[in-house]
A and B are shown apart, each in its own frame.
Chain A
Amino acid sequence: MGTTASQLDKGMLSEYQELTFLTKQEILLAYKRFSELLPKEETNGISYRIPMNAILELPELKTNPFNERICKVFSTSDSHDGSLNFDDFLDLLSAFSDSATLEIKSHYAFRIFDFDDDGTLGRQDLEKLVNCLTGGTGDTSLTPDEMKQLIDNILEESDIDKDGTVNLSEFQHVISRSPDFVSSFKIVL
């Protein structure tokens, strides 16, 4: 490990503490894990963008069925390729931390589930969501009839304005009635 925690200076550390939900120890740990993913010759860790396939090697993200969507949502790169710099990485950890509010978590959950980035969860988004959970291909996936029935049920319950899609407010309304959403929407390094 070439980089040490002392490279993160105090001013930046306190700024990150103010702007995210992470504690000082969590930020330092995040910096340590981030530096491990940097290539050896890179000295300036903060602004370097780690490509998506390297981020997905982290054990906390490897087994998550939505890992690619998570990287794409939190990435601020211009090419939308899912690469994360340190700011984005902290953003990710902050949204998934213990102390993040329900509003933040539900906002980001909505964006993660919105596969086509159109601002609402349409039928295609919901289908992809269910396929990610059940496996997509093989004998654990649903038949088209089952899928249609399931999505109809979901829309019946969450679509208030009956436009065939779930928008953010409807999504947040459904989530607010689920008691363990906040505790399961967590990634801890």
Chain B
Amino acid sequence: MLLAGLVLTFEDLQTEETVSGADEEGVHVSFSQLIAEQIGEGPDGFELQQLQRALNDEDRGTRSSLRDFSRSSRPTIRGYGMEVDTTDGPESESEKKERLVNNLQNLSVGERLKMLRGMPVSVAEKKELRRLTLQKDKPPPSSSKIPCCSQLKFYIIIAARHSWYSWLSFLHSLQPWQFLFKRIGGRFGTGVLSYFQFLKTLLLFNVFLFLVTFAFLVLPQAMHPTELPVGGRNFSGLELISGAGLFTDTVMYYGYYSNSTLQKSCAREHNASASTDHDCVSERPSYNMPLELYRFLIMDFIFTLLNTLFGELLWRLFSRNVLRRSRNPAFDIARNVLDLIYAQTLAWIGVLFSPLLPAVQILKLLLLFYVKVVTSVMMNCQVPRRPYRVSQMTTIFITLLCFPSFLGASVCVTYTMWSIKPSSSCGPFRGLRTMFQAGKRWVQELEKNNPDLSVLARVHAYLVENPFFLFVGAGIFLIVIYFYSQVVDGQRKVIELLQEHIEEEGAHKKYLISKLQNMHESKKRIPRRLRSQVSLMLCSCIFSAPFRARVHAHKNQNKRFEL
């Protein structure tokens, strides 16, 4: 769905010259056409024209500075007699069609398609119009006149465009749970949908993290397993919860990783000490840290499941029978999102010590997704009553994920790498003063082994270790941030201007409508009734109610949930 939105905006950008937020002239044009339709009806035509002139004169003095933006008024179908209620003008049907086809031809291909799509006529008629338009197009010059390379270029461009669109629709179809999201969004609203989209985003983050750690950490280590004393451990289900037992000697934990680097001969170096789990147990941080984090994660998952399956069920029964409320409790989006963020923070802190933690997190998120979909949403399927501003909430979710969660986790990890002395007998950093030194040591060894690469070592010494470079880097980073903040400021100002503009246009409309009404009323001498806000809302509700009512009726009728 995200990609579909991106494709649409991509196409929009291609076809529109500029984005015009407040199309002043467009509004005035459509309003003057509204007046023009009324004009045909009678003797007040003259007064109405005067009114329109008066409006234009008055308006010129008060136009805001947005006029300076270049504007392209969108091609509209007004004036082509597409509306149901226009009186038959002097033009006949075929003449109108001619005019329409001619105007379509003058537009570029993108705008023509956009206009065709926006026409409220049947698909059969649109096909006919399109055929007529293409027929009347100037025939392409014969191929002998085009030099061969630009014909080739033409074909290449067409092929590239075609393959780009196929690639985009392929990507679009790869989106997991696409139809499921549409169903959830259609039945329960976009608020609940935003929770599931957030879950999907977290899943993608974890997949990426997992791929990176797997490729560079786990795989090399797994291919060259360190020798360990045979412990005769058997797999029992308890491992999944406690994390101890069979998992202690695997790639799951930091302690398993050797501190040797892979040589070409794939022989282990002499100084790689085979660590046993006994030593590791006595070294508290390198073994117990990842173990504890793993346990945190699993416990959080178990308790979430218990809460979802039993807690909410019990609460629903309680509220139904004891409190006698007629509706199920609503899906608490905020609490669930915070749970997700908490679990993700744990995973991020733990990835330093336990490289397979993203994999655990991925499995956990997948299970959680299906459990939540089936139970929380189906059983407590209450459509939320307050309108939910989804885009703002999604921004808040991502901000919460970034600032306390990711920043905190990265600060913890950085501090650990920089200051804490790693265990002396366990893990890939044993024997060093800080974990950071591993990088330095690697470069030194590289220089020692391959003297040709001493340039690289000197570059490393001057760039990475020199604080000057860090200052320059930080400076560039700050400049980029400042630039973006100025852009955001500018956009905020534009939004304010546009809002003022909309208010002005509203005031104009009100003025014109009241004048029109006065004119008609004085003509027919009907006493004016008091206007009320309630009747406006009534109108809007009446006209938009039927399709919202469908959602409730559909839900009640069809209890079966198709995944």
Q: Contact at B542–A133, with CB atoms within 8 Å? A: yes
CB distance from B502 to the nearest CB of A (A): 12
Contact A177 B540 (CB under 8 A): yes
What bracket does the count of chain B residues touching chain A fall in? Answer: 35 or more
CA distance A160 to B511 in the complex (A): 12
Encoded as 1 (CB less than 8 Å from any A CB) or 0, chain B from 502 to 519 comes to 000000000001001100
Q: Is B123 on the interface with A (CB-CB < 8 A)?
A: yes
Q: B residues within 8 A CB of A24?
A: 169
Q: Which of A120, A150, A157, A187 contacts B536 (CB 8 A)?
A: A157
Contact indicator A19/B547 (Cβ below 8 Å) = no
A53 in contact (CB, < 8 A): no
Inter-subunit contact B546/A64 (CB<8 Å): yes
The residue in chain B whose Cβ has the minimal distance to the Cβ of A117 is B84
Which residues of chain A are within 8 angstroms of B173 by Cβ–Cβ distance? 25
Contact B538 A119 (CB under 8 A): no
Residues of A within 8 A of B540 (CB): 174-175, 177-178, 181
A1 at the interface (CB under 8 A from B): no
Are B123 and A150 in contact (CB-based, < 8 A)?
A: no
Closest beta carbon of chain A to B468's beta carbon, Å: 53
Distance in angstroms between the alpha carbons of A64 and B132 in the assembled complex: 37
B558 — which chain A residues lie within 8 A by C-beta?
Answer: 59
A119 to B550 CA separation, bound complex (whole angstroms): 26
Instruction: Give the residue name and chain of the A residue nearest to B529 (CB).
Output: A156
Flag whether A104 is at the interface (Cβ < 8 A): yes
User: Which of B8, B37, B123 interacts with A87 by CB under 8 Å?
Assistant: B123
Q: Find the B residue at minimum CB distance from A15.
A: B127
**A156, B543: Cβ atoms under 8 Å?**
no
From A59, A103, A162, A178, give the contact of B554 (CB < 8 A).
A59
Given A19-B117, A64-B547, A87-B124, residue A156 in contact with residue B520 (CB < 8 A) = no
Chain A contributes a number of interface residues (CB within 8 A of B) equal to: 66
Whether B117 pairs with A20 at a CB distance below 8 angstroms is yes
Given A25-B173, A108-B120, A168-B85, A157–B538 Cβ distance below 8 Å?
yes
Is B172 located at the chain interface by the 8 A CB criterion?
Answer: yes
Q: How far is the CB of A115 from chain B (nearest CB, A)?
A: 13
| Mask: chain A, 148-189; 1 = CB below 8 Å from B; 0 = not | 001001101110111100011101001101101100111110
A91 to chain B, nearest CB (A): 5
Main secondary structure of the interface of B (DSSP, over half): helix
B543 lies within 8 A of A181 (CB):
yes
Asked if A19 and B130 sit within 8 Å, CB to CB, the answer is yes
B180 sits at the interface (CB 8 A)? no
Smallest CB gap from B551: residue in A: A184
- B535 touches A (CB below 8 Å): yes
User: Are A167 and B85 in touch, CB under 8 angstroms?
Assistant: yes
Please tell me if the beta carbons of A65 and B549 are within 8 angstroms of each other in the complex. yes
Q: Given A64-B550, A103-B118, A133-B546, does the pair A154, B539 have CB atoms closer than 8 Å?
A: yes
Shortest CB-to-CB span from A110 to chain B, Å, is 7
Residue from A20, A66, A175 in contact with B123 in the complex, judged by beta carbons closer than 8 Å: A20
Query: Are A158 and B539 in contact (CB-based, < 8 A)?
Result: yes
Digitize A22-39: 1 where CB-to-B-CB distance is under 8 Å, 0 elsewhere. Answer: 011100000000000000
Q: How far is the CA of A177 from the CA of B543 in the complex (A)?
A: 11
Tell me the smallest distance from the CB of B548 to a CB of chain A, in Å.
Answer: 4
Pick from B123, B521, B545: contact of A19, CB under 8 Å: B123
The residue of chain B having its C-beta at the shortest distance from the C-beta of A181 within the complex is B544
Does the CB pair B550–A63 fall under 8 Å? yes
Chain A residues lying within 8 Å of B178, measured Cβ to Cβ, are 25
Contact A87 B122, beta carbon cutoff 8 Å: yes
In the assembly, what is the distance between CA of A86 and CA of B173, in Å? 23
Is B479 engaged at the interface, CB distance under 8 Å to the other chain? no
Q: How far is the CA of A183 from the CA of B173 in the complex (A)?
A: 24
Also in contact, A162 and B122, with CB within 8 A (given A23-B4, A110-B84):
no
> Given the complex, which residues of A lie within 8 Å of B520, measured CB to CB?
160-163
Distance in Å: Cβ of A106 to nearest Cβ of chain B: 9
The reply on B215 being an interface residue by CB < 8 A is no
User: Could you tell me the distance between the alpha carbons of A111 and B121 in the complex, rounded to whole angstroms?
Assistant: 12
Does B371 have its Cβ within 8 Å of any Cβ on chain A? no
Residues of chain B lying within 8 A (CB to CB) of residue A186: 186, 547
- Given A120-B85, A150-B538, A162-B524, answer yes or no on A18-B38 (Cβ-Cβ < 8 Å): no
With an 8 A cutoff between CB atoms, is B269 at the interface?
A: no
Cα distance, A70 to B124, chains bound together (Å): 17
Per-residue contact bits, chain B 524-542, to A (CB 8 Å; 1 contact, 0 not) = 1010010110111011111
A interface footprint on B364-395 (CB within 8 Å = 1, 0 otherwise): 00000000000000000000000100000000
Cross-chain pairs A/B with CB under 8 angstroms, 22 sampled: A18-B117, A20-B117, A24-B169, A63-B554, A66-B546, A87-B127, A95-B120, A107-B120, A114-B84, A119-B84, A133-B545, A133-B546, A154-B538, A157-B538, A161-B520, A174-B539, A175-B544, A177-B536, A181-B544, A184-B548, A185-B544, A188-B186
- Which 6 residue pairs of A and B lie closest in terms of their CB atoms, listed nearest first? A178-B540, A119-B85, A63-B553, A153-B535, A107-B120, A87-B123
Kindly list 17 other residue pairs between chains A and B, CB separation below 8 angstroms, not including A19-B117, A63-B557, A178-B544. A15-B130, A18-B130, A19-B113, A19-B126, A19-B127, A25-B169, A25-B172, A65-B549, A88-B122, A94-B117, A119-B84, A132-B546, A133-B542, A133-B545, A153-B539, A178-B540, A180-B387
Q: Enumerate chain B interface residues (CB-CB to A < 8 A).
A: 4, 8, 34, 37-38, 76-77, 82-85, 113, 116-118, 120, 122-124, 126-127, 130, 169, 172-173, 178, 182, 186, 387, 513, 516-517, 520-521, 524, 526, 529, 531-532, 534-536, 538-550, 553-554, 557-558
